Amino acid sequence: MHDYASELRYSALVALALFVGWLIRRNELARLGYRRHPRHGLVGLGSLLGAVIGSKLGLILFVPAAAVFNAALWWSFDGKTVIGALIGGYLGGELTKKLVGVRFSTGDGWAISLPVAQAIGRVGCFASGCCYGTETRLPCAVWNHGAWRHPAPLYEAALLLVLALVLFVIRKAPRPAGHLFRYYFIGYASLRFLVEFVRGDEHTQLLRLNVAQWACLLMMGWMLGLFVFEAASARRTASRAD
């Protein structure tokens, strides 16, 4: 029997997540002064388009091959594709910046809004019964998919709120533009890597890690590589100036 009540709860929480995320991002954009640039709004649209495409392409990794086509056509906010959405959103924003001539980093406007919105969305996952955890006898276990399991979506939601709080506290500290967003990217990849150990949905395993965990390691390496590259460039510039 189709559980329309569960879908309604999930849809309502996703809508709330989008609204709260939009409010936070709007305030951050005003604080950072990004909205003064006439083409900054196009970068946001490019990021959103990239996130949608990335979330669908992510289904290739997280959905059985026989179900990829149907899953790609069905409009949903499946949490299994969040990693693809983040990568796609980042690439979409960077490509749009080049196309419209925005020369400054714009990611910091998303750094706090994304983890808060994701946390609300994960509560929606828990309410609808998806993204369930592995079986456990711990007192925090919940009954789901015929067994007592870890409430994996709630673990992730709690960690996301902690991440958002840390980023909020340090958001005004002096740092190069774009670094706050990189902290978010690394933070989310790290916490998602850990939560995957107690998620019950089946993924392809490679060297005892699943596909999502390898994607998280890729995300962390990507952001850390950017830090290393920028530091090396700064040293070369300083040496030439001397």
Domains of the chain by residue range: 4-37+104-241
Q: DSSP 3-state assignment of 210?
A: strand
Predicted pLDDT of residue 66: 47
Q: Is the pLDDT of residue 99 over 70?
A: yes
| Lowest-confidence pick of 23-27, 135-139, 193-197, 205-209 | 205-209
Q: Closest Cα partner for 55 from 82, 94, 15, 90?
A: 82
| pTM of the entire predicted model | 0.86
For residue range 70-86, what is the model confidence (pLDDT) as tens digits? 554 554 444 457 888 88
Q: What distance in Å separates the CA atoms of residue 70 and residue 55, rounded to the nearest whole number? A: 14
Question: Would you give the distance in Å from CA 159 to the centre of its chain?
Answer: 13
Tokens of 102: 């925005």
For 178, counting Cβ atoms within 10 Å of its Cβ (0-12 exposed, 13-18 middle, 19+ buried), the class is: middle
Residues 135-175: tens digit of each pLDDT: 999 999 999 888 999 999 999 999 999 999 999 999 999 99
At residue 197's C-alpha, the angle toward residues 135 and 118, to 5°, is 100
Write the single-letter amino acid at 214.
Answer: W
Q: Give me the pLDDT at residue 135, please.
A: 94
C-alpha span between 158 and 128 (Å, rounded): 17
- Retrieve residue 33's tokens: 């002064």
